[in-house]
Every structure is written in C-alpha cells, then in structure tokens.
C-alpha cells in the first residue's frame, strides 16, 4: 500500500508546496506547483512542477518541471506566482529568490509560454528584460513575493497583488497596475478599511489572491482577497470580502478562515463561472516530517479542485469529486438536530480520524475533526456533510459548503482506508 493519493496531486518525488499558475483551458486544468525534486537530500532548489487533469476525471498527468533555478535573479528559487492567458498568449509571473552572504534579494519576473497543450507540456522562455520588478519598493523588506495577476473590470486594466513585509516587520499587500500585462507601475499599499481581525501583528502576508466574484444572494459583484498572514506562533489562511476602490479596500466581511483543518495553506484561485476554482496546499511551512517522505520519497499534496461560490458575503466550498472514485472513501451524511460522530477506519481496524457533530438549540452548531489527538473545529449550519479519504489526503465540507477541512492522515502498517464508520 502507498500513502500516495489517487486523485490529489502529489509530486513524483521530493517536496511539493504552493499551487501556482492555475490555468483552465476548456475542461483541462493545468496546475503548476512549488517543487523541490532533490528534497531532502541536497540543498534547496525550488522550481515549478507541472501537471494537468480533466475536471471530473480526477487523475493527474505529469510533465517535466516548467521552471527551475538558473538565472542570476532566481538562482536560489523560482518562488510562487500566477498565470494569465490573454489574446492567445500565456504568461507566468513568479518571484525570483537570491541569497548572498545571508542577505535576500527578490524580484518579480515574466515567462512566456508556448505549446502548453503539447506533448512536453509547454516551452518556457524567461523574458530577456527580466526582472520585471527588481527588488522591493522603499519601506519594504526583501520578503516581497507571490504575484497574483487578475483583470480589473472597472478600469479595463490589470492588477498585480504582492505579499509584502514592511520594514517594521509587519505584513501587508501591495498593488501594481498595468494596461497590457507587460509594463507595470507601483500603485501602492492596499489600505484596509473596517478590517477588525488583528492581522497587524502578522509579520508577513503570503500568497495573496485578488478576484472579482458575484454574490449569488445579493446579486452584486465584490472583490475577494485571499491571503496567508504569518504570526510568530502560527500560519493562517483566510479571506476578506468588500470593494477595492483605488487602494482603499472597504471590508464588508472580516477575515474568515478558508479551511479549518490541520493542513491547508497558500491556495490559488482562478475565475470560474460567477465564482472561482481553487486548489490549496495540504501542508504548512515547517511540517515536512511525514511517513511518505521517509518511505516513499515525497512530501505534501494539493487539495481536490474546489469550486468557490460567494453567498451572502461568505465563500462556500464544493469539492470536485472524480466521476469514478474507486480507491477513495466517499461518504455523505445529513447533519441535523441530533448529535453524530464517526471514525475513519482502515482495513486493519485502526482509527485515522474522528468526526463529531454537536448541534445546539441556540444555533451555534459545532463540527470537529480530530487527527492524532489534535482537534480542529468550526461552527456551521446543519446540512449535508461530504467526506473523502484518498491515500494520505482527507477533505470534507459541511453546512452546504459553509466550512471545509483539509488534513493529512496516514494509514497504519500498510493498510488502506476502508470506510467512515458511524459510532
């Protein structure tokens, strides 16, 4: 038995982390991801892996790595970024990382892509005039990375949001604008108006995503900013909803976790219908010691593709399940007025994860997921729970997609997952 999931993207070898450059062409989803193929046996050399799936099929086909360190501006890593297909041309935007005598240098760069759907998965050419953005603006440290590019329908131009750290070592997001995707100007730091959640103490905001989405309840369009504030004792991931006018983000929905499980970070979103399609990294910085690394030479995986809908100011999640989920445990249960609990059981009878639903007469119902004695919980409405276990990847949604959980759970002693057994 292998820990490797069948329907969750994992690297052929080495270390996988952030999803990058998600691109949907018809029903084919191309996903790039942070990939260090030599981990943990050699010095770090993070580039971009590349795989493709057909939505609804769920299996992944791997291509050769698209990017790897090798230029003076990225010799210590091709860090995270995004992709844009416009007028038949595909561009990748990524952060180049350089470390020299203990000092970090950062840059934002463009890669032109040809023949993406060809047998080798594309031809990748860095722009000869890279870096596009050399260094960080005045007032910010070299922790300046993860460009996410999206179209601004209000102005008919493009906007690039970058995760940043101020010189005072506090986190924020910085905005650039462009009329043509090739020439970019600094607009400035995004100012959050009405943000009550205390992200001021975060020392860095990583992996920002900025998209326009239609609220299906209110019938209005809103800006959604997803980002990962890093604190001295935790790494979080969540979103805010509001309206971005220039550099002023009027917050209507305060910072809300995007996932309540044990392993979820650095998601990437792309427009999909009136909402978005998303994949997240089922891992966290610094959590690399896993059974899969020791026995099989790979570590971490991505979530299933998730469809996100904006409903009355909140993001709701729907898992994109494979049409033929053979080899995956899939269970559904209607959570209601009665308490409910269940265990994920492997073929040896071992318990890998425990679920518990505790309804409340006051409407504050609680769903919890416990793995290795560590519990995560969230409040949600009654409604359908959808549970999946695929190799080491466990995901679930509940309350009609109001909450989602992602956790890495490893079967014991070579067993496979058997069922979600009600207690």
What confidence tier does 200 reach under pLDDT thresholds 50, 70, 90?
Answer: confident
If asked whether residues 210 and 336 sit together in one domain, one would say no
Average pLDDT over residues 293-303: 96
Is residue 320 situated within a structural domain? Answer: no
If asked whether residues 270 and 349 sit together in one domain, one would say no
Instruction: Write down the mean pLDDT value for the chain.
Output: 96
pLDDT above 90 for 361: no
Average pLDDT over residues 389-399: 98
Is residue 46 situated within a structural domain? Answer: yes
Average pLDDT over residues 381-408: 97
Active site residues: 18
Q: For residue 220, count CB atoms less than 10 angstroms from its CB and return exposed for 0-12, middle for 13-18, buried for 19 or more.
A: exposed
The per-residue pLDDT for range 96-116, each reduced to its tens digit, is 999 998 899 999 999 999 999
What is the strand order of the sheet 28-36 is part of?
A: 61-67, 47-54, 28-36, 14-25, 298-299
What pLDDT was estimated at residue 363?
A: 79
What confidence tier does 362 reach under pLDDT thresholds 50, 70, 90?
Answer: confident
The per-residue pLDDT for range 74-95, each reduced to its tens digit, is 999 999 999 999 999 999 999 9
Is residue 44 situated within a structural domain? Answer: yes
What pLDDT was estimated at residue 414?
A: 86
What pLDDT was estimated at residue 423?
A: 85
If asked whether residues 278 and 402 sit together in one domain, one would say no
If asked whether residues 243 and 338 sit together in one domain, one would say no
What pLDDT was estimated at residue 109?
A: 98
If asked whether residues 59 and 149 sit together in one domain, one would say yes
pLDDT above 80 for 1: no
Q: Find where tokens 């983000």 sit.
A: 249
The per-residue pLDDT for range 160-198, each reduced to its tens digit, is 999 999 999 999 999 999 999 999 999 999 999 999 998
pLDDT above 80 for 397: yes
If asked whether residues 275 and 372 sit together in one domain, one would say no
The Cα–Cα gap between 276 and 214 comes to 10
Residues 289/201, Cβ–Cβ less than 8 Å: no
If asked whether residues 174 and 238 sit together in one domain, one would say yes
Q: SS3 sequence, 239-290? A: EEEEEEECCEEEEEEEEEECCCCCCCEEEEEEEECCEEEEEEEECCCCCCCC
Is residue 2 situated within a structural domain? Answer: no
If asked whether residues 281 and 339 sit together in one domain, one would say no
Which residue range(s) make up the domain with 345? 329-422
Q: Find where tokens 């040896």 sit.
A: 348
What pLDDT was estimated at residue 269?
A: 98
If asked whether residues 164 and 237 sit together in one domain, one would say yes
What pLDDT was estimated at residue 235?
A: 95
If asked whether residues 131 and 280 sit together in one domain, one would say yes
Q: For residue 203, count CB atoms less than 10 angstroms from its CB and return exposed for 0-12, middle for 13-18, buried for 19 or more.
A: middle
The per-residue pLDDT for range 313-356, each reduced to its tens digit, is 999 999 999 999 999 999 999 999 999 999 999 999 999 999 99
Q: What CATH number has the domain bearing residue 102? A: 2.115.10.20
ω into residue 40 within 30 of 0, thus cis? yes
- Torsional class of 201: left (φ above 0), alpha (ψ -120 to 50), beta (otherwise): alpha
């Amino acid at each position: 038995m292998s820990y490797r999931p069948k329907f969750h993207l994992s690297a052929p070898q080495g270390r996988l982390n952030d999803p990058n450059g998600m691109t949907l062409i018809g029903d084919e989803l191309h996903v790039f991801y942070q990939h260090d193929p030599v981990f943990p046996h050699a010095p770090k050399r993070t580039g971009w892996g590349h795989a493709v799936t057909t939505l609804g099929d769920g299996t992944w086909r791997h291509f050769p790595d698209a990017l790897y360190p090798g230029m003076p501006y990225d010799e210590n890593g091709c860090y995270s970024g995004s992709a844009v297909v416009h007028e038949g041309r595909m561009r990748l935007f990524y952060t180049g990382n350089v470390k020299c005598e203990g000092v970090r240098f950062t840059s934002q760069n463009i890669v032109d892509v040809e023949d993406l759907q060809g047998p080798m998965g594309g031809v990748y050419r860095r722009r000869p005039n890279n870096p596009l953005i050399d260094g960080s603006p005045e007032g910010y440290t070299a922790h300046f990375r993860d460009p996410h590019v999206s179209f601004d329908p209000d102005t008919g131009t493009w906007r690039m949001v970058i995760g940043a750290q101020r010189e005072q070592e506090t986190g924020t997001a910085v905005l650039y604008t462009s009329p043509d995707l090739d020439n970019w100007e600094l607009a400035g730091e995004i100012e959050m108006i009405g943000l009550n959640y205390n992200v001021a103490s975060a020392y860095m905001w990583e992996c920002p995503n900025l998209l326009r989405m239609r609220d299906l309840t209110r019938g209005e369009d809103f800006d959604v900013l997803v980002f990962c504030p890093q604190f001295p004792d935790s790494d979080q991931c969540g979103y805010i909803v509001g309206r971005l006018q220039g550099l002023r983000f009027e917050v209507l929905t305060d910072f809300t976790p995007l996932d309540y499980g044990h392993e979820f970070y650095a998601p990437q979103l792309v427009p999909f219908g009136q909402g978005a399609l998303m994949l997240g990294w089922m891992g966290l910085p610094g959590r690399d010691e896993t059974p899969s690394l020791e026995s099989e030479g790979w570590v971490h995986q991505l979530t299933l593709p998730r469809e996100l809908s904006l409903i009355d100011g909140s993001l709701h999640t729907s898992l994109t399940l494979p049409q033929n989920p053979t080899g995956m445990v899939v269970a559904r249960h209607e959570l209601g007025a009665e308490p409910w609990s269940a265990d994920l059981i492997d073929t040896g009878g071992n318990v890998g994860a425990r679920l518990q639903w505790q309804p409340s007469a006051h409407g504050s119902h609680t769903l919890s997921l416990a793995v290795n004695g560590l519990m995560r919980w969230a409040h949600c409405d009654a409604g359908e729970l959808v549970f999946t276990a695929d190799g080491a990847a466990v995901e679930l949604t509940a309350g009609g997609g109001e909450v989602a959980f992602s956790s890495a759970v490893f079967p014991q002693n070579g067993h496979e997952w058997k069922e979600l057994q009600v207690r």
